Amino acid sequence: EAGALWGGRFAGGPSPELARLSKSTHFDWQLAEYDIRGSRAHARALAAAGYLTSDELVGMVTALDALEAAVVTGRFLPAESDEDVHSALERGLIDLTGVELGGKLRAGRSRNDQIATLIRLLLRDHAATLSQLLIELIDALAAQAEVHADAIMPGRTHLQHAQPVLLAHHLLAHCWPIVRDLERFADWGRRADFSPYGSGALAGNTLGLDARLVATDLGFGAVVENSIDGTASRDLVAEFAYITAQIGIDLSRLAEEIILWNTKEFGFVTLDDAYSTGSSIMPQKKNPDIAELARGKSGRLIGNLTGLLTTLKGLPLAYNRDLQEDKEPVFDSIETLEVLLPAFTGMVATLRFHTDRMAELAPQGFSLATDVAEWLVKRHVTFRDAHEITGSLVKYAEEHDLELHEVDDAALQSISEHLVPAVREVLTIRGSVESRDGQGGTAPVRVAEQRAHLMERVRTL
C-alpha cells in the first residue's frame, strides 16, 4: 500500500476491516508535533553517527520545520490511508524531501521507541499545564480563606455537628490534598525524565546512534537503562492517570460540600450567576452544575485509570499492540481536567459565603461539649469523669430543649459541683476555636500561620 511503513513482505494491502481497526490517527495526531521534534533530534543523531551528510541534515531539518508549520496551521492533516501519526508524517516528509532523503530518517528507530518517548513528552507538557491550573485553584481557595479569616462554621464528623472550626481552616483543608497532587506531578516528572528513544523495537539499535544526544535534544535528563523496559512499560502513563483520578476525587469531595452548602437547608453559600445554571421548566432554579459535573467526572477519571491498568495487566514483554490503548484514556483525563479546572476555580473564586448563618449553626448540636470536657480536665478532673459529667449536661440540655450555654447556673451545679459559672468562657464558639491552638489546630493564629505555610510550599514546589 502506498505510504505504509511496512508493505515489503506482504502480498497486498491490509483488508479494509483491518485498516479500520488498526487506524489511530483520530487520536494519536495529538502527538504530531512531538513526533516531529523527535524526528529532528533523531536526524541529528543519524548525522552524528555518519548516516546523513551535513547537507542532508540541513535538508531534513528544513523539511521537518516546514512540515511542523503545516501541521500547526492545519494545512497538513492525516489522510484516510495513513495508519497512524508516524505514517502520516513520513508521507508528509517524503512529499517535501523526496524519497531519496526522506527515506533515510527511519533508520535505527522503531515506532515502539518513538511512541514511548512521545507520550512522555506530551504528558510532561500537560503535567505543567495541569499544575498551573491546580495552583490557580489553591489560590482561589486560599483567597477565600483570607477574606473569611474570622468566620466560624460547624465542623462535622459523620456529617453531624462535631466542633466549631474556622471556615478558613476548612477551606485550607481542601488545599492540602491539591498541594500533594502538585507534588505527585513533580515526583512523576523525575521518573519520566528518561528517554526511550534509541531502544528500537525492543533490543536497541545497531547503528551506533547516541541516544543521549536525542534525550538532551528533547529535554530529558537521561536515557532509559533497558530498551525492553523503554518500549514495553506504561506504568508512567498509568501513574499519570492515577494523579488525574486523584485530582478528580479531591475536586469531587469539595464539589459535594458545595452542593450541600448551596441547599436551602444549609444556606451557607450562594453561587455566582455566571457559574450556575437554570432549569428549563422551573423558573426559580439556580443549580450547582459545575460542582455536579466535577463530582460526575471523577467517575470518568477513575474509569480511565481502571481501563488502563486492566489493559496492562498480564501483558508479556516487550511491545504489544495493546499498548496503543494507553492513549485515549489518558488523553481524555487530560482534556477532562483542563476543561473542568478553570470552571471549578471560577466557581470557588466567586462563591459568596453566608458567615452569619454558619456562625448561628456552629454551636448547635452541642458542638461545644468537648470544650466543656477539656475545660474540666484543665481543672484536674480526670477525662473519664469529665466525659461523664459533660454527657449528663448534654442529656439535661436535650431533655429541656436547650443549647449548652442556655443551661442556668443552678442546673449546672446540680449536674456536677465542678460545673461552676466560669465554664461559660468555653461555651462560645469564639472561645472554642481560639482554645484549639496546637499545631494544625483551628485557632485563628494557627490558621493564619497554616495559610502562610501553604503559600510557601506552593511557591517552592
Annotation marks residue 148 as catalytic: no
Q: Which residue has the cell 531519496?
A: 100
Rg value, the chain, Cα: 31
Nearest to 167 by CA among 345, 361, 371: 361
Q: Output the smallest distance, CB 233 to ligand ARG, in A.
A: 12
Stretch that binds ligand ARG, among 268-276, 318-326, 337-345, 446-454 (CB under 6 A): 318-326
Q: Output the smallest distance, CB 35 to ligand ARG, in A.
A: 11
Catalytic pick among 15, 54, 158, 280: 158
- Which of 81, 287, 324, 350 is the binder for ligand ARG (CB under 6 A)? 324
120 sits near ligand ARG (criterion: CB under 6 A) = no
319 sits near ligand ARG (criterion: CB under 6 A) = yes
Stretch that binds ligand ARG, among 12-20, 97-105, 192-200, 317-325 (CB under 6 A): 317-325
Annotation marks residue 380 as catalytic: no
Exposed, middle or buried by CB within 10 Å (0-12, 13-18, 19+), for 137?
A: buried
Q: Output the smallest distance, CB 6 to ligand ARG, in A.
A: 8
For residues 244 and 259, give the distance between their C-alpha atoms in angstroms, rounded to a whole number: 22
323 sits near ligand ARG (criterion: CB under 6 A) = yes
Q: Output the smallest distance, CB 110 to ligand ARG, in A.
A: 7
- Please report, as a single letter, which amino acid is at residue 72: V
Cβ neighbors of 335 (< 8 A, separation 6 or more) are none
Burial code of 161-170, b = ≥16 C-beta within 10 A, e = fewer? Answer: bbbbbbbbbb
84 sits near ligand ARG (criterion: CB under 6 A) = yes
Stretch that binds ligand ARG, among 153-161, 316-324, 377-385, 410-418 (CB under 6 A): 316-324
Number of C-alpha atoms within 13 angstroms, CB side, residue 279? 8
Q: Output the smallest distance, CB 272 to ligand ARG, in A.
A: 42
In the complex with ligand ARG, the residue whose CB is nearer, 28 or 371, is 28
All three cell numbers of 67, joined, read 512540515
For residues 302 and 337, give the distance between their C-alpha atoms in angstroms, rounded to a whole number: 12
**Contact positions with ligand ARG (CB under 6 A) in 14-73:** 24, 28
The CA distances from residue 58 to 45, 63, 101, 309, 380, in Å, are 13, 8, 11, 43, 85
Stretch that binds ligand ARG, among 110-118, 132-140, 167-175, 346-354 (CB under 6 A): 110-118
Please give the residue ranges that form the binding site for ligand ARG (CB under 6 A): 24, 28, 84, 111-112, 115, 319, 321, 323-324
